[in-house]
Amino acid sequence: IINSDCVHIIIIIIYKNCIFIFYMNEMLPLLIFDIIILLYSSYQDIKYKSVDDIIIYILLIFNVFYFLYLIIQNIYPENLIFSYLILLFFSLLYLFRLLAIGDLFIFFSIFFLLSFFSPYKMLLFLFYLVLFGFIFHNIEAIKIYKENRKKYYISILNIILILISIYFINLFFLYFNIYYLLISLIFIYIPYFLFRYISKDLEEKLTFIRNVNELVEGDWIEDGIEVNNIKKEDKEILIKYFDIYENENKYILKFKSNNKLINSIIILFIVILPLIFYFLNEIFFFYSMPFIIIFYHIFQNKLFIGRFGLSKEEINILKKLGEYNDIKVKVKEGAPFIPPIFLSLILLLI
């Protein structure tokens, strides 16, 4: 005789499995499309340290319209609020200049896909993302420290230790043995402290002097651009984006501090708006998400500028100044971040 509690548990398990299969069928086109685009974007990010705008737009458009199609069909991902919180977290990282604008736009797109996964899977995705991001930072260190054997071997050791950590964390989730988790954490902490030994020097070595013609959209550049001459017609455009200071026979260009503050407030307010809708009416929350993402992309050249990453207009005016000035700027580069996103998503599916 089967008691009622057992029957109840069996029914719940069957129901959850049915729901999961249903969502898997619904998310499959989105999953396949996003993986293909992320694979190609990863190739571009590794080879060129940038991704074509058209690729990001294609990813965004497909995800937004597919999500709208689902909610029109009354199919609502159960965990959209959790994937939204991940998006909110990465938006804050961007505002603190810890994430590039291109990488943030990738999250604007794929967070729809993440909403089909359980909160546990999302946390696992973040965990993998941190580890793979750390691996790619050490790969950059390997490229730079070919002549410095000590730091070169430290970077290789860090990658090996993190890969071992990923192996043990998967054993933990497979067998739920706490010892596997402890071993994994040990293999995380060792490379973390080793990386701190090289991190400051690595950051300096990832800052390059470039001509303005080499700048691309989203580049992080340092304030204090020196210019010998500014034509009157160029100055009218320039003052929209830069404060201009005279220093002896030179002009010093600095990003407008007011723009930085106002844009930060607008970006933060818009990204928090869905959370307000969530507490007022959950349906408003679902419908607001795609439109807010579209808003960000429409106004990206007004909001995501200056110290947050160069816009096309800023690059164009600097290039125009470069026609009659020899302008050099300091550009800060980071490790490719789209490949860690792709690899984390793949591990999530295994």
Instruction: Examine the pLDDT at 224 and tell me if it is beyond 80.
Output: no
Res 163: pLDDT: 94
Whole-angstrom CA distances from 128 to 58, 236, 318, 343 are: 25, 48, 39, 8
Whole-angstrom CA distances from 153 to 143, 157, 176, 195, 221 are: 11, 6, 33, 11, 30
Res 6: pLDDT: 52
Res 21: pLDDT: 46
pLDDT tens-digit series, residues 112-146: 889 888 888 899 999 999 999 999 999 999 988 88
According to the per-residue pLDDT averaged within each range, which of 23-37, 140-154, 156-170, 309-323 is highest?
156-170
Res 69: pLDDT: 86
Res 3: pLDDT: 53
Instruction: Examine the pLDDT at 64 and tell me if it is beyond 60.
Output: yes
pLDDT tens-digit series, residues 84-117: 999 999 999 888 888 888 888 899 889 888 988 8
> Stretch 315-340: mean pLDDT, rounded?
88
Res. 24 pLDDT band, cuts 50 70 90: low
> Stretch 236-248: mean pLDDT, rounded?
85
> Stretch 309-315: mean pLDDT, rounded?
84
> Stretch 284-309: mean pLDDT, rounded?
82
The closest of 152, 338, 317 to 234, measured between CA atoms, is: 317
Cβ–Cβ < 8 Å for 325, 238: no
> Stretch 193-219: mean pLDDT, rounded?
86
More confident residue, 224 or 335: 335
The token pair that represents 72 in the structure block: 């029109």
Res 17: pLDDT: 44
Instruction: Examine the pLDDT at 15 and tell me if it is beyond 70.
Output: no
Res 23: pLDDT: 54
Average pLDDT, the chain: 85
Find the angle CA(88)-CA(90)-CA(92) to the nearest 5 degrees.
70
Cβ–Cβ < 8 Å for 61, 33: no
Instruction: Examine the pLDDT at 259 and tell me if it is beyond 80.
Output: no
Instruction: Examine the pLDDT at 220 and tell me if it is beyond 60.
Output: yes
Q: Which residues pair with 255 in a beta bridge?
A: 242
Q: Considering the entire predicted model, what is its pTM?
A: 0.84
> Stretch 254-282: mean pLDDT, rounded?
86
Cβ–Cβ < 8 Å for 225, 306: no
Instruction: Examine the pLDDT at 306 and tell me if it is beyond 50.
Output: yes
